[in-house]
Structure 1
Amino acid sequence: MCTRILWNSNDVATTVARCMDWAVSDEPELWFVPAGTSRSGNADEASHRWTSTYGSVVTSMWGLGTVDGINDRGLGVHALYLDPEDVAFPEPDGRPSVANAMWVQYLLDNYATVAEAVADIDRVRITSPTFRGMQLGVHIALEDAGGDSAIIEPLGGEMVVHHGREYTVMANSPTLDKQLENLTRFRPFGGELPPPGDITSQDRFVRSAYFLHYLPEPESVEEAVAGVFQLISNVSVPYGAPYSTGDVYPTWWRAGADLTHRIYYFGSTRSPNIFWISLDDLADVREVRKIDPRILTLVGDQTADLQPAALLY
């Protein structure tokens, strides 16, 4: 499931937050990946290989790929679930390929801004190999320190790009165009309905947009970060809360970023704490490092506590 909220309209800092909702834990690990790291698209016989231009702090999912992160130029990228029946990735066409589980990492490694990434969107072909025995639909949100934003959805064998500062909210299915159409039924977005209170994707989308609209101007960077974390908490799903189908997809963790100052934040919903990693303080580090973000006592600046590690994916 999941939700992403970008606050790019204040005068203090560009901040973003997202949550990870799933039936079981995605066993997250938090990595620092320096510039100069060799990577593979992990896709098929046409898998793309590259060397990272930028360093990044990222969260992995089941040790199989990157689901969230920011790079040292202030670009943030987030993968959220999109129902497989809504998704159709491009067919093989001679381009090098990147698995959807590596899409976030590929973008963070190679681009400094949203505009650069969007302009180069057709350079590689994104594929959908089996992921722990499942086919996972995914769409991508990007934003940068300047407040630019884009939502990318693989629909009908093509990448549909919504590019502009106005794309501040993303949830899950339906596709973004239908989410935006539904939003017009609610105030203050053209309709008269009050904000809804369910945990469905459409209700989370509306509620995110509604409360983001009313966030007051922050007086500090800390308030700018706290603002998006307050909003993402508002659309998080408590443990045990069922959807109408009876399925339970709680929020396992929430991540955020101050893109202006290149700081990545993380909090497990099993813990009352939030900790952070400063990319600027890792500028001279040339080795891969990691930390287990599920340690419940982590709080505050943990940059110095990242440990050298062998990259597993």
Structure 2
Amino acid sequence: MARQETSGHEGEARQKLRTSRQVYDQIRWDPRLDPAAFVIGYETRESGTAEIGLPSFDPEGEIPWHRIQYIRQGTTTVWDRRQRVDLLEGKRNAPAPSAQYGLDARPVHRSALALIPPRETWAPIEAIRQAHDRHVARWMPHINLLYGFLPEAAFAEATGAIAAALRDVAPFEVTLDDVRRFQHRAGATVWLHPRSEPPGALEALQARLEALFPQCSEQSTVSAGGFTPHLSIAQLRGEHGEHGEHGEALVAEWRRILPITFQARAIHLLSRRGDEAFAIRHAIPLGEPPLAAR
């Protein structure tokens, strides 16, 4: 039996709409697109639909991907879940952004370059996270320096580049000295504030790494204030996320575990394989040659 020819419109209707995550990643890393020009519209339980600037959207934050309903650029909707619109579909073949040392892979959110506190400091932090952090099974306590980062396939080359760039960066002291909040529409992310000694050492380390991998700039561009070093411990919703009595009581209780002081002697390349948690793949000592991969 001869196969019937389908019309162009029927063929288009059968094409699978790209996910909001795929479109988000394209806008973030396509050098022809300006992320600051885009807005994400998402469903909320309280008020129907709300919007957030694309650079302020946290891929691992409070807004699930399935609640994103549209993405617009100015007054033009470039992606719409219900209407099955994807105006950026034809612009996907952009060249990948380049980085030094030939590391030109696009950043992904399955890898990170982070500072991990020593395991002996984890117990009081994890006690809070087990009860209040929905990411506790995915991440160990960490301070992200670059996230997203290069795919794990580029780690071996990245390790050598990072070690060379940080050879003259001495270890420094970090003290978790306060409990603070990033306020969101539906609640708040609670985090421990890391203070470095000498002052600014942590921020200088992040800036040097971002200069080495300029396409991995999400941590410094997600807000107008630039890079804010933080160690997340909880997400609070509703009245708990506001400055109500219960939220304030929790923060006051959590401040009792502070200060926590440790030496930052290495930074760590992390990746997540499949549904596994993030794991350390390489440790790069400050001021020394790199350690072997794990």
User: What TM-score do the two structures reach when normalised by structure 1?
Assistant: 0.22
Structure number with the bigger relative contact order (C-alpha 8 A, sep ≥ 6) is 1
Computing the radius of gyration from Cα coordinates, the structure with the larger value is 2
